[in-house]
Amino acid sequence: MNILGLIPARGGSKRIPHKNIISLAGRPLLAYTCEAALGSRGLSRVVLSTDTEQIAAVGRAYGIEVPFMRPDELAQDDTPSIAVAQHVVQWLAENDGWQADVLVLLQPTSPLRRADHIDAALDVLAETGVDTVVSVLEVPHHFSPYKVMQVQGGNLADFWQDPLPFDRYRRQDVPKLYGRNGPAVLVTRVPVLFEHNGFYGERVAPYVMNDEDSVDIDTPFDLRVTEWLLKSRQAAEHQPAALPQKKDNNRMKVLFAGLGSIGQRHVRNLRAVMGDDVDILAFRRRGASPVLNPDMTVRPGAVLEEEYNIRSFSDLDAALAEKPDAVFITNPNTLHMPVALAAAKAGAHLFIEKPISHTMEGMDQLRYLVERQNLTVFVAYQFRFHPGLQLIKRLIDEGRLGRIVHAHIVNGEYLPDWHPYEDYRETHPARKELGGGSLRIQTHEFDYALWLFGLPRRVYAVGGHLSHLDVNVEDSVSALLHCEYDGRPLPVHLHLDYVQRPPQRVCEVIGDAGKLYYDYYANTVEFHEHATRKKEVHHFDHFDRNQMFISEIEHFVACMRGEATSLIDLDEGIRSMQIALAADESLQTGQSVDIVEVGT
């Protein structure tokens, strides 16, 4: 049976302008319905019907299909919802050849409706065989027609005039009445839409919800109440689940998905941090990676399982059946999301190599699982642990640069030099089908630009496959990020490439009171102060690059134990992905691309 989830979101709301994407507890209102829909086990497909590109962009960012823009004639103030539903069902049948059997109407104004509510209403439809199921809540006794009054000639009079066969003032004797709560969930069989020209068939069953989950946002007051409810829930329920305190017989179990160069580095560092207090498992579908030394040379004849004392599995389900406390996702980008979803369903904390994935597909479901299971997520942008960038962050936050007017960031390195032990043409940075390309591999710069300057409003990028390298991805890109800092526009220029030899990794930040220059390979940060005309040079000659990786693992373990909060959680990782994906879209279209905030 094809069950269609339909989210109708018109742009022309009057009482609350831009209501469907207005910020609610730090996220667009529409986001809550998107996540509930994608978290449902019963929906076969979820479609957003809207007439504005801005709402469509939010829907797409949350993984919802927007296969068409709603025609203007179906986006008027007096357009009935049934016409919108009929249009969507007919469009999918005629253009996709996909025929819906059941339609579930999910209005964005019910943000506290969850995936389990949707599934429960679908269960009622299946168990009862009715035409329609609608969500309702019990009418409060003081709003019952037996209790409410009207003004007649300046005096209060009973609204209900008929004689009552019971004591109308006894609450327990007033009959239970129910009203639609939006409705938050409306399930109907598709033939009803056309045979009755409406959502309700001859047989309608209720799905009763409680008061709190039945919030329907229609006024600014509703919005404020719902924000308070959401923040209260987040404070009470969404604390990361801490691991139990370690005892001698209570070891931590960690699963690695992928044991290439970065996976092996994390294995070595995890052993260094935890010693013998960790059992390491590995999911290795191909098992082709050689054992690597820290200097990226191959150790001939060595066996990974013996070298690192790990147990390997060729089947992910079998590996997760071992109930690991955490999963390190260190395989190619295109394989991140399936492993992350499976691990989150299994209740494992997630350490995800950057970026989270190569697209936003599955991101909603992952966020839903992470929140439901109270999981820690850390996205491995280790440069936030580099003392040079930490110094830059501190100097900017202290106002030492004055008003910031420009930033210039470069990361260029010759791709064949990255892993000298293997053919660069076969590595995932070089292959589109594995999530390669400068914009999805050299993403540290997107992350620390986000950390320093915030999420840009729009991105414009130029570049492509410009060199003679034998790759099928972009190998040189320059992107201009339109950020806002202290309420003023801030241009941030990023350049990424696979071709520079010797490599270059620098960051320059210019303000009206000073200038900073960070050189990763020189291990220095220079600060030029305008007023004194002095230059401070900070050297990090004795800083070991591997310390960044050790620090992030120490931080992740502390988060799992409930001793810290993830510095780069799922939503922060999504924001850096948004920048990279916007740059990619700009590269393909030649247009600047707006970014809509989707994190919490």
Within its chain, how far is the Cα of 585 from the centroid?
18
Amino acid 527 reads: F
Strands (E), 413-503: 458-464, 476-485, 488-497
Of 168, 372, 457, 458, catalytic? 168
Rg (CA), the chain: 28
Cα-Cα-Cα-Cα dihedral sign, residues 287, 291, 294, 296: negative
d(CA 350, CA 360): 17
Amino acid 438 reads: S
Are the beta carbons of 374 and 346 closer than 8 angstroms? no
DSSP 3-state assignment of 91?
A: helix
Strands (E), 209-340: 252-257, 278-283, 310-313, 326-329
**DSSP states of 517-530 as a string?**
EEETTTTEEEEEET
d(CA 507, CA 516): 8
d(CA 229, CA 236): 11
d(CA 455, CA 449): 8
* Measured CA distances, 452 to 448, 499, 509 (Å): 6, 26, 10
With a CB cutoff of 8 Å and minimum separation 6, the contacts of 36 are 106, 113, 114, 115, 117, 118, 368
DSSP summary character for residue 567: S
Cβ atoms within 10 A of the Cβ of 368, count?
Answer: 20
Are the beta carbons of 523 and 506 closer than 8 angstroms? no
Residue from 578, 554, 550, 579 nearest 566 by CA:
554
DSSP summary character for residue 426: G
Question: Could you confirm whether 440 is annotated as catalytic?
Answer: no
Strands (E), 161-277: 178-180, 186-189, 204-208, 252-257
Cα-Cα-Cα-Cα dihedral sign, residues 94, 98, 102, 107: negative
Instruction: Name the residue with tokens 């999963």.
Output: 327
Token pair, residue 459, equals 């991105």
Cis-peptide into 220, omega within 30 deg: no
**DSSP states of 328-394 as a string?**
EE-S-GGGHHHHHHHHHHTT-EEEEESSS-SSSTTHHHHHHHHHHHT--EEEE-GGGG-HHHHHHHH
Cβ atoms within 10 A of the Cβ of 218, count?
Answer: 14
Are the beta carbons of 465 and 480 closer than 8 angstroms? no
Catalytic residues: 168
